[in-house]
Amino acid sequence: MNLTKIEVFQRWNGLTLREQLLAVVTIIIVLFYGFYSIVVLPLSAEKQNIQRKVIAQQEIYQYLNTLSEEVKDLRNHQQAQTDLTENAVLITRVDASSEQIKIKSAIDKIIPEGDSKLIIWLDVVSFDQLIDWLIELEKNQAISVAKISLLQDEVKAGFVKAKIELSSQNK
């Protein structure tokens, strides 16, 4: 059905005014629908897609921030655990060596000080055994005497009361 311009105009002129108006309105509606389908819908869909991507990126950002805070907390906790472990290891080494030298019963009190220090109170211990123990700590346990305070026992000769500050040489 090939129509020339003249045939189209002849058919158009053959329509009543009401039919011509209806045809014009139909053509306008079809053009608007075509414009809406070809231009507006794809742009709207792309806008929604971009909004979803932005929301997903924001959720990822929030998750990573939360994860970052958890990592910081874990690192801080791990450092605190390491410090506690080093103190526990220091106490264990002191305890084991005091048992070996047989002066553990004279230990009155042990107080951890900081990361690698201990303060120990000894109640009536043989001075010779104390010196042997301190040598053992220095040579074999890498624990040195930072401060020492001795008080001669008035009842037993060769026995002392002591307050000793020990520190680990590993730090």
Three-state SS annotation for 111-159: EEECCCEEEEEEEEEEHHHHHHHHHHHHHHCCEEEEEEEEEECCCCCCE
pLDDT of residue 87: 54
Tens of pLDDT along the chain (171 residues)? Answer: 677 888 888 989 999 999 999 999 999 999 999 999 999 999 999 999 999 999 999 999 999 999 999 998 888 777 655 554 455 577 888 888 888 888 888 888 888 887 778 899 998 898 999 998 899 888 888 888 989 999 888 888 889 999 999 988 764
pLDDT of residue 99: 87
pLDDT of residue 84: 45
Which contacts of 44-50 are long-range, i.e. CB under 8 A and separated by 24 or more positions? none
- Please list the residues that pair with 152 across neighbouring strands: 160
Query: What DSSP character marks residue 4?
Result: -
